[in-house]
Structure formats: C-alpha cells, structure tokens
Amino acid sequence: MNVKYSLLGRRFSLGFILQSSNRGLWRLFSSTNESLSTVTELISKQHWSSLKLYLRDSDPNAVLRDLLDSGAKPELILSYFTWSRKELKLAHSLEVTFRLLHSLAYAQNYPKIRSFLHKEMVTRRIKLNLVSYNTVINGFCKVGKLNKARDVIEDMKAVGVSPNVVTYNTLIDGYCKMGRIGKMYKADAILKEMIANGIPSNEVTYNILINGFCKDDNVSAGVQVFAEMVRQGLKPNAITYGALINGLCGGGKVGEALGLWEQMVGSGVKPTIVTHNVLIKGLCKNKMLKEANELFDHIEKQGIAPNVTTYNTMIDAYCKGGEMEQAFFFRDSMVKKMVSPTVSTYNCLISGLCREGKTVEVKSVLAEMNHRNLRPDVVTYNIQIDSFCKKGESRKAGHLLDEMVRKGVSSSHVTFNTLMDGYCREGNLRAALKVRERMEEEGKKANIATYNVLIKGFSRKGKLEYANELLNEMLEKGLVPNYVTYEIVKEEMVDKGFVPSIEGHLFNVP
C-alpha cells in the first residue's frame, strides 16, 4: 500500500500507513503533528543528534525529497544530504542527487557545485548526464563566471560526456552578455571551436551571436554573422531579423533596417509587433514621421494590433515635432481600440503642451490622468518643473516639489538640478543653495550636473570667487569634470578675465 505523505504542510497526514519496523519499512517520525520548520531548524543549527532522534521512525529519503520540494536553501539540503549518507548510511537515489545539483546551480552556489560533483562522481562513480552538466554550465554563465563554465566543459569531456549544441549555445550566450567588456571575440571563437568539433550550429547559435554583436554596437559584425547563417543553409526567423533590425535602427541605419524588414516579409517571416515598434521608433528618431505613419497603417492592415508602445512612440514623436493635434489623434485612437494610455502616454502629451506654453491644457491632461487612476510620477513633475523654470516661474516649480513630497513621489537629481538652474537663471542664488541643501538632506549628493548649474549661476552673477570655490569643492569630492564644465569655465570665467585657482587638482584650465 503506497500512500503519499509530505512534510511540507504544518501537519503531517495521519493517513500515511504505519509500517512495522520488523518488515524494514518506515512510518511517521512522531505521533504529534510537527512542521517542516523544526527539521530545517535542527539542520541549520547542526543539532545532528537531536535530528537523528527526531527522525528515528521516518524515511530519510522522503525527508530529503520534502526538503527539495519545499524550496529550502540548497546549502541546508546539502548538509542533510551529506549527514544522512554518513550517519544513516543512506544511499541517495540518482533522482535526488541530480535534483540537489540542479538546486545548487539555480541558487548560484558555485563553490559547492564542483566539490559536490567531484565527491559524487568519485565516491559513488556516478556519471552525470548531459542535462546536469548543461544546467551547471548555464548557472555559471548567468553570473558571468565563464572560466568556471569552461572548466565544467573540460570536466565533462574528461569523463566521456560530449558537449552538444546546447552546451556551446549557453557558453556563447554567456560571452555575448559580457560583450561590453571585450568578450564578443571569444563568443565568435567558440562558434569556430564548435564547428571544428563537428557540432553543427543552429538558428539559436546565430541568433545569440547577432544579438550580442548588435548590443555591443558592432552591427557590421552582426550583418556578417547573418550572411554566414544564410550561407550555412539556416533560415533566419523572426528573432534573427528582429535583433538585426534593432541593431541597425540603434545605429541610425534606418534605411538598411527597412530594407531588411522588406526582405523579412518577402521571405514569409512575419514581423512581430516588437520588430515593428523598433522600426517605428527608428523612423521617428530620424524625423521620418510620414514613413512611420505609413508603417503604422500597414501594421493595422495586416491585422497586427498596435500596442501601447506603438502608440506612445507615435505620440512622443508628434509632441516633439510640435504637432499636438496629431498626438491627441493617436491618444484618441488608442482609447477607441481599447489600448489603455499609461503614465508615459500622458508624460509625452504634457511635455508637448509645456513646450507650447499651454498651461490650461496641461491641467486638463492631469485631470484625465486622475480620472483614469494614474498617478503622476517623477517624470511628470520634472517636465512641469522644467517648464516653469524656463518661463522664469521657479517659485511655482518649487511648489510642485512640495507637492511631490506630500503625494509621496520620490524626487530625482534631475528634479533638484532643474529647480536650482531655474533659480540661478533668475539670479536667486540664495534659493538655489537652499534647494541644494534640501537635496542633500534627502540623501542625494551633489553630482557633476549640480556643480555645473551652480558654477554657471554664480559666475553669471559675477560671484566668480564663490564659483571658484565650488569648482574646487567639486574636484575635492572626486567628481570628474565633463565637457559642460569646461565650457562653463571657459565662457563664464576665463573669457571674462578670471583665471580660476585650482588647489592641487588635475584640471586643465581652457
């Protein structure tokens, strides 16, 4: 009679059969109802004698399975695993051994993984399967421990387990994700190694490489990999085209991206809405609104529903272009199509209206946001604060900062720096310094933009000595001057006959 029981609940099932000890079978470890937390506590405190007594009538293998099922910490389960084998002479099944290995891999406990692998393989002569090795390799790759992943590949080869395409794809993906620190050439080298070892690459291999090169701002290499993929007789899919189109658009090569999109459609591969969104964004960035509109219409004709990203991209482009009527047309269209506007949608509209100085319309949009139960975020406030400051109404901008605090909206460096800049433009340096003080009271240290604003403000007001003090303070704090800093020093100080005194800091006065 096999009735399942579990240690996972707060109470153990009394329905589990009590099996007689003289038949070598197990029963529940206690006549009372105990929780799994007791077991885990005894293990974590390494009270092994108490645990042995506590589990005297239970099935140790069942306890181990329940620990694995419960999601307990892999390190804790490993402690029980080791103890039960040594003290209870328990021969763990391959199933629970592999489950524990996978659990350690997913928890990214890598110091214990190789030790565990070695002990199990040497003491029990267990030959791990390919899936187990690939799981460990994937775990190492996810946290960027690529050398350790390669070590595992060498280990598996040494015991006669051959890597497969999944093994190599995992490693290539790991190097691609580290691409920005010069690892892409290694990813490419692994592809060559893979082919040399007689393991055929697949679409996933090339998709990983193309995406990696494009994200590494090396679109030309991505194009070459794409061409090689086609030469190998592999058919690019939606992921392949999408990655390359995204890379081309990001590199400003919108014309080439459109050409690839046409090739994609012509080959019978249907672009996803994500790919279309990338293209529309690329067109909008290049101020090709007519083409973006045409593509938008094409999407709808093909029966592909534009999503909130599609609409927001179009709305943002028209707002930036000063075509507010068209922007509101798309807002109305998305509502009719049952696509709910987001805070980002309204931020685009508010930004466009602020540029045109339409204060009344801004209030109307804010009211609509409130009606839809959408809370203005820091971007919403920053847009309005910037607008007031540019109009010379920094006091009103300051009231918005107070409103943010009341409504629990966290401010950013941009919020404070914008307000400081507003006061500096108006010549109200005392107010600007108070804003800085408030910013630092909220735990935000002055950054390079803060100093640029204040140095410029004090210089324009003729307070060059104080501006010089701010410059030295900035350098003393280890902040690195940027292009804007040098321009301010040159135009607002040096060109006016004031050469700043730099107190032992590395700063080349223009």
DSSP-assigned letters across all residues of 327-381: HHHHHHHHHHTT----HHHHHHHHHHHHHTT-HHHHHHHHHHHHHTT----HHHH
Per residue in 59-98, pLDDT tens?
777 777 778 777 778 777 888 887 877 777 777 666 677 6
Model confidence at 470: pLDDT above 60: yes
Q: Is the pLDDT of residue 505 over 60?
A: no
Find the range with the poorest average confidence among 28-32, 118-122, 364-368, 428-432. Answer: 28-32
Place of tokens 């390919």: 130
pLDDT grade for 504, boundaries at 50, 70 and 90: low
Model pLDDT for residues 369-382, shown as the tens digit of each residue = 999 999 999 999 99
pLDDT at 63: 79
Q: Please report the pLDDT score of residue 40 as a whole number.
A: 79
pLDDT recorded at residue 187? 87
Residue found under tokens 């046409």: 262
pLDDT given for residue 11 in this prediction: 32
CB 251 within 8 A of CB 219: yes
Displacement of CA 153 from its chain's centroid (Å): 28
pLDDT at 423 over 60: yes
Report pLDDT for 5.
Answer: 34
pLDDT the model gives residue 109: 55
Written as six digits, the tokens of 478 are 């280890």
Q: Which two tokens stand for residue 134?
A: 């690939």
3-state secondary structure of 403: helix
CA angle (114 as vertex; 111, 120 as ends), nearest 5: 130
**Closest residue by Cα to residue 127 from 158, 92, 82, 170:** 158
The pLDDT assigned to 182 comes to 66
Contact of 224 with 230, CB cutoff 8 Å: no
Residue range 139-167: mean pLDDT, rounded: 86
143 confidence band (pLDDT: 50, 70, 90): confident
What integer pLDDT is reported at residue 108 of this predicted model? 61
14 or 209, greater pLDDT: 209
**Contact of 84 with 64, CB cutoff 8 Å:** yes
107, pLDDT greater than 90 = no
Q: Is the pLDDT of residue 15 over 50?
A: no
Residue 250 has pLDDT above 80, yes or no: yes
Q: Which of 140-154, 190-204, 424-438: highest mean pLDDT? A: 424-438
Q: With cut-offs at 50, 70 and 90, classify the pLDDT of residue 49.
A: confident
User: pLDDT tens, 229-246?
Assistant: 999 899 999 999 999 999
Contacts 24+ apart (CB under 8 A), 490-495: 492/455, 492/456, 492/459, 492/460, 492/467, 493/459, 493/464, 493/467, 493/468
Q: Residue 121 — very low, low, confident or very high, per pLDDT cuts 50/70/90?
A: low
Q: How many CB atoms lie within 10 A of CB 131?
A: 10
Q: What is the pLDDT of residue 8?
A: 33
Q: Which of these ranges, 154-168, 242-256, 414-428, 447-461, has the smallest mean pLDDT?
A: 154-168
The overall average pLDDT reported for the chain is 85
Q: How confident is the model over 169-224, as pLDDT tens digits? A: 999 999 898 866 667 888 888 888 888 889 999 999 999 999 999 998 899 999 99
* Least-confidence region, from 115-119, 304-308, 362-366: 115-119
**Cβ neighbourhood burial of 38 (10 Å; 0-12, 13-18, 19+):** middle
Q: Which residue has the tokens 């390359």?
A: 244
| H or E segment to which residue 259 belongs | helix 254-266
> Looking at residue 75, what is its pLDDT?
78
pLDDT band at 152 (very low <50, low <70, confident <90, very high): confident
- Binned at pLDDT 50, 70 and 90, residue 120 comes out as low
